Amino acid sequence: MNALSFQIKNLSLTRAGSPVLGGLDLDVAAGEILAVAGSSGCGKSTLLRALAGLLPVASGELLADGRPVRGTSADRALMFQEDALLPWRSARANVALPLAIRRVPRAERNARADGWLARVGLAGLERRLPRDLSGGQRQRVQLARTLAGQPRAVLMDEPFGALDAQTRHEMQRLLTDVWNASTTVVFVTHDVDEALLLGDRVAVLGGGGLADLVEVPHPRTTVDPALRARVLAALGAQTLETT
Amino acid sequence: MRILLRAGSPLAALGLWYLLTEHDVVFLLRFDRFPGPGDVLAEFGRQLTTGVYYQDLAQSLVRILTGFVLAALFGGLLGTLVARSRRAGDLLLPLFELARPVPAIALVPIAILLFPQSEQGIVFITFAAAFFPIMVSTRHAVRALPPVWEDAVRTLGGGRVRVLAGVLLPGILPGVFGGLSVGMGVAWICLISAEMISGQFGVGYRTWASYTIVDYPGVLVGIITIGLLGFLTSGAVELLGRRATRWLPAEARR
């Protein structure tokens, strides 16, 4: 399965009747990691929901591999900021969910789910219910569940936002470890360093559209101060615009 | 230790009943004609050896289960429908809200007019009694479902059937079981009343029939039987509810 690309042309989105994004142009290449940064309310989560197919396009074009996005698909898995595990399913059954939807036989999907749980460092907790896991563990299960279906694009809405600093670093490392070029990743964050460390490019949203698009050169083990200043400037400009 | 404490209040009531009837106390209330525990126990023992007692028991249980299961099915389906579809809600809710305040027992004349057999009428009354609590609790449970569960399943490739069977059904169970519990309670109230009015068999009918032939111990046997049946059926609903919602966090469980 090859990675998915997105083409966004003059896209406008509304949330609860009021416009959030207007006239956005952005291409996401197949297999890249795109970080989307912006202050709260700039429409980054709304954009992600539209990419997932959970939110209809108000006007403009939103294409995946050249075809309009209509409705949800297993190709475009969304990892939520909040706890989105089904509480009556064990960790294993949650991770196996995308495989169950695809009618993978039970023994095989359980084995694959256990493999994913081991990769996110939760071996031995397969039978736990979400209520018996910590917030950080639940988020790891969600990451495993999102990746277990081998989607062609992974959309992440501040996936590590609610975690403590150490877990956050582990999860970031995990994401770069398990990521391979057969998956496109679009992830939303308000953490500039996270965006610059994980993203191949950083799209800064603001003022209802794209405020800046920053390429991050490889290899990167530390955050380039010049790029950080540039992203912060784009963020700062929009803060001034909105206030 | 706890079991002793829990047995305390029924035993105390039994003792009080014995004392009041044994001494034919007449003070505000009259216990001189009231049968004592001994008479009732003897009558109970006698009835347990007759076929009529079991026939009444079976008849009432068949009625309540038929009415209740129908109410659970229709209440669950329609409650879900009006919560999920705005059009269905606009179409059906006004009728439901108009019909809901009418006590099911007031429908007895209508049931007699509509149904060729009193049996069907009684089941209809039981159904009508249990339907509304179940429908309303289902509607609220569907609305209270966190949207993120459904969104997650959809972005993992789940379709409509998967969302209904894999998210909605398990997700609403904790809320629906409250309605099932209440529904079972009112279903018994209305079943017994309907049986007293128009039954030919059943525990409610037998209780009232005993009263009309001045068989007071028989009345109390009927009342105790009704209490036991209600206790057992509500207990069964409760037990099923706990088994189905074991995944709830500890603080949300009863």
ipTM of model: 0.88
- pLDDT for res B251: 62
pTM of the model: 0.84
Nearest to B124 by CA among B187, B203, B55, B202: B187
% of chain A surpassing 90 pLDDT: 50
Beta-carbon contacts of residue A52 (< 8 Å; ≥ 6 apart): A72, A76, A77, A78, A155, B151, B155
pLDDT of residue A1 exceeding 70: no
- pLDDT for res B1: 77
Please name the member of A80, A97, A145 whose beta carbon is closest to the beta carbon of B148.
A80
Contact A5, A28 (CB under 8 A): yes
SS3 (DSSP) at A60: strand
Helices within chain A (DSSP H only): 44-52, 91-95, 97-101, 106-119, 135-148, 165-178, 192-198, 225-242
Q: Which of A69, A72, A133, A157 to mutate to test the interface with B (most CBs of B within 10 A)?
A: A72
> Are B155 and A101 an interchain contact pair (Cβ–Cβ within 8 Å)?
no
> Are B247 and A129 an interchain contact pair (Cβ–Cβ within 8 Å)?
yes
SS3 (DSSP) at A209: strand
* Binned average pLDDT, 10 residues per bin, chain B of 254 residues: 87 93 90 90 93 93 96 96 93 92 89 89 94 96 95 94 93 93 94 88 93 92 93 92 84 57
> Are B152 and A80 an interchain contact pair (Cβ–Cβ within 8 Å)?
yes
Confidence category of residue A211, pLDDT binned at 50, 70, 90 = confident
Confidence category of residue A243, pLDDT binned at 50, 70, 90 = very low
Q: Which stretch of DSSP H or E encloses residue A216?
A: none
pLDDT of residue A177 exceeding 90: no
- pLDDT for res B253: 56
- pLDDT for res B181: 93
- pLDDT for res A242: 44
**What value does the mean pLDDT take over residues A16-31?**
88
> Are B149 and A97 an interchain contact pair (Cβ–Cβ within 8 Å)?
no
Question: How far are the Cα atoms of A13, B16, B68, B79, B225 from residue B176, in angstroms, in the given order?
Answer: 37, 39, 14, 10, 27
B250 compared with A243, residue with greater pLDDT? B250
- pLDDT for res B252: 62
- pLDDT for res A241: 47
Residue A18's identity, in one-letter code, is S
